[in-house]
Chains A and B, each alone.
Chain A
Amino acid sequence: MSDRYSRQILFSPIGKEGQAKLKNKHVLIVGAGALGAANAEVLARAGVGRITIADRDYVEWSNLQRQQLYTEEDAKQRMPKATAAAKRLRKINSDVEISPHILDVGVQELEALITHVDLIIDAADNFDIRLMINDLAQKREIPWIYGGCVGSYGLSFSILPGLSPCLMCLMETIPIERVTCDTAGVIQPAIQMVVSYQTSEAFKILVEDDQSLRRTLVSFDLWKNHHRSIDVSSLKKQECLSCGKNRSYPNLSYKNQLKTAVLCGRDTVQIRPSHSLPINLNHLADLIGDQGIKVEQNPFLLSFAVEDVRLVIFKDGRALVHGVTDVVKAKSLYHRYLG
Chain B
Amino acid sequence: MNLVVNGNDVNIPDSVQTVLALLNHFQLENKIVIVEINHSIINKSLYEETNISDGDHIEIVHFVGGG
Query: Residues on A close to B: CB < 8 A?
Result: 31, 33-36, 122-127, 130, 147-150, 153-155, 170-181, 184, 186, 217, 219, 221, 224, 226, 228, 230-232, 234-235, 264
Contact = CB atoms under 8 A, between A and B. Distances in A.
Contact of A180 (B41, B44, B61, B66): B66
B67 interface: yes
Interface stretch (B11-19, B30-38, B48-56): B30-38
Contacts of A217: 34, 61
Do most interface residues of chain B lie in helix, strand or loop, or is the interface mixed?
loop
B42 to A, nearest CB: 10
Interface residues of B, number: 18
A150 B7 contact: no
Contacts of B34: 170, 217, 230, 232, 235
Interface of B: 6-8, 30-32, 34, 36, 41, 43-44, 59, 61, 63-67
Contacts of A221: 6
A33 B43 CA distance: 33
A34 B66 CA distance: 9
Contact of A181 (B7, B8, B43, B66): B66
A132 to B, nearest CB: 13
A268 B44 CA distance: 34
A181 B66 CA distance: 6
Given A172-B44, A176-B30, A217-B34, A226 B64 contact: no
Contacts of B7: 224, 226, 228
Given A170-B34, A175-B31, A217-B34, A148 B44 contact: no
A143 to B, nearest CB: 18
Nearest to A149: B66
Listed from nearest, the 6 A-B pairs whose CB atoms lie closest are: A181-B66, A150-B66, A35-B67, A148-B64, A150-B64, A125-B67
Given A33-B67, A155-B64, A230 B36 contact: yes
Q: Which of B34, B43, B64, B67 has the largest count of A CB atoms less than 10 A from its CB?
A: B67
B67 A147 contact: yes
A154 B64 contact: yes
